[in-house]
Structure 1
């Protein structure tokens, strides 16, 4: 049985009674409203995962708000999304992240010399969703729209550690076992074959480092599922590249004491899988480039580490050796559990990931300041009623969609 604790609090899966957690969450929600945030592309509505998520959320009556941050190319797509989520019993806001009303609202910030018009992608969706959710709720949880293995226990496990006042937890991040549903293949390649050996290698090269120790405490640092207080939410700068998850961990590191940070085991987990990519500008290779450049920036910003060409060389040399040792360990673990494991393919993936190291260093040197959306406290200093105006824009979009759908 695994009771091990590390630098941050780890909440294990010991087959807890989820009905107990949900009962407690119902009590807590009376005084601490909870909002669930789901960033989504319109295409996710066409896939079975989101339908399953919707079905399970119907029984999560402790959640007061469900805020869907939707990228839709047309008004028809947005209207369809409003109809799709209309059967949920919670108060649903479908935020059209690239819609004309929100674009017009954000342009008013640009007129006041805070230009956020160029931001896009998941980071932009998360920023908008956190703004609206922090207006409505004390506790916010976020998960993606493509979780194939979703059930209602997932959100209860995310919300409860933050909601329980005795714990004092401000941020709770998920970790899980990435096994394919049908093939039982090991997934999570970016963590297993890049982030894990990368962090171990950086610690070897740099010596003991507080931020690296913090990152290595997370069992799945690239998990996109987390919960946090609304107070913390408005103080986070949101990264706008493929290093979103590790960039958010850097922001939590800056804004919350370690004793207020936790991680929770969500069990077996499966969702969409990215291709490795044929070059460093594609797929997981691009993601790994952004992850490493984000880590390098944070080590300089938070720990005053100054990198040289020698660091890059040492990192490349040691990275492959550490990754190869891990592959041997994965092979043993997989074989003993009857899991198919292609060592040659894993080795080739590591070789692809190794090639992004000099590219990430170059990116770090050429772009030392990360692309992060200013936190909501900065935006509210420029326009104090911005969240209320955002809420109004969403309500108007929703009302228009419901009127059209009713015809």
Structure 2
């Protein structure tokens, strides 16, 4: 990779120092036994918050192929601008080159949100999610006071869980979204039919479960009849989406494989069924990782020791 200007710190999540700290937290009954993106984000956030003079924090995916420095500037600018009062900024962009990308968003998440709107009528949280142009983007920024109180999901439902946490912790008037780049290109994942525990299929399943968990926390009762209706209505919404994207591709001269899109929806139907089954079996599933304000309250010197561990690993 290119040399990054400015000071850079690498957090060695699998190194002996960080693993020792994780073990200490697990022994103190913090839910951190599941490695992955969520835990890495959580630990990185803890390190950043260990520095007292931090005001704003930005995070983004690391597999961006057309990364430009203005992406970071645009993402964090609404939070740091002295004349504005935003506490959280969410990045969005177009996922298109010579064809449409973002299948989980286009063919699973958006049709599912539209289905929930049809079934539930007005629901403040669903309306909130529906207003994000790219809810599943991995790019966001927030101020440190908000970040300290945010719990992090260890699963692929991280982005939805993050939006839920922000919704609960601050006013929607302090939340914004910003276009950080015209078109966004990253390493694409394939849909592997018959492998529900991998890749985009697992991602869709975890997103579904995260949505159900948040809605149930808000007091929504989801019966067998609700889930049956949800499945059939989602299929209809996904079909409508395919018609829309087919027209969009034709009008803009884009490559569009309609058969492949239909197959993707069939796979996502399986993901939705699995997310329903897993949610009914265990509504809590893997608990969220604790907010850092709780960690510091339980182990007062932990932030200092985390800071020291990262500094030592970077010597």
Deviation at residue 89 of structure 1 after TM alignment: 3.7
Could you tell me which residue of structure 1 aligns to residue 82 of structure 2? 165
Deviations 1:308-366 (A, max 9, x none): 11111101111111111111111111111111111111111111111222211111122
Residue matched to 2:209: 293
**Residue 381 (structure 1) aligned with residue 292 (structure 2):** no
For residues 305-344 of structure 1, what are the structure 2 equivalents within 5 Å? 305-344=220-259
After TM superposition, give the deviation of residue 117 of structure 1 in Å: 4.6
The alignment's TM-score, normalised by the length of structure 1, stands at: 0.74
Deviations 1:338-395 (A, max 9, x none): 1111111111111111122221111112221142111101110111221211110011
1:229 alignment counterpart: 143
* CA–CA distance in structure 2, aligned partners of residues 160 and 378 of structure 1: 28
CA distance, structure 2, for counterparts of residue 348 and residue 89 of structure 1: 44
Provide closer, same or farther for how the CA distance between residues 316 and 140 of structure 1 changes in structure 2, counting only shifts above 3 A. same
Which residue of structure 2 lines up, in the alignment, with residue 187 of structure 1?
A: 101
1:230-256 deviation digits (Å, cap 9, x = unpaired):
111111110001111111111111111
1:155 is aligned to 2:103: no
1:369 equivalent in structure 2: 284
Equivalent position SS for 1:274: coil
Give 1:114 deviation, angstroms: 2.9
Greater RCO between the two (CA within 8 Å, min separation 6)? 2
**1:277 and 2:212 matched:** no
RMSD over aligned CA atoms reads 1.4
TM alignment of 1:8-407, pairs within 5 A: 51=1, 54=2, 87-111=3-27, 113-136=28-51, 137-180=54-97, 184-266=98-180, 267-279=182-194, 280-301=196-217, 303-371=218-286, 372-399=288-315
Mapped partners of 2:10, 2:265: distance in 1: 40
User: For residues 38 and 236 of structure 2, what CA distance do their matches in structure 1 show?
Assistant: 34
How far apart are the structure 1 equivalents of 2:22 and 2:242? 47
- The 8 Å contact of residues 109 and 382 in structure 1, kept in 2 or not, is answered as no
Q: Aligned pair count?
A: 310
Question: Matched residues in 1 for 2:223 and 2:235: separation?
Answer: 19
Structure 1 residue 282 displacement after superposition: 2.7
Note the residue ranges of structure 2 that are not aligned, 5 or more in a row: none
State how far apart, in whole Å, the 1-side matches of 2:285 and 2:91 are: 25
How far apart are the structure 1 equivalents of 2:307 and 2:246?
A: 51
Give the TM-score normalised by structure 2.
0.95
More strand by share: 1
The answer to whether the 8 A contact 1:138-1:229 is kept is: yes
- Give distance in 2, aligned partners of 1:219 and 1:341: 22
Larger of the two Rg values belongs to structure:
1
For the 8 Å contact 1:119–1:373, the answer to whether it is kept is: no
Tell me if the contact between 1:132 and 1:387 (Cα under 8 Å) persists in the aligned partners. Answer: yes
SS at match of 1:174: strand
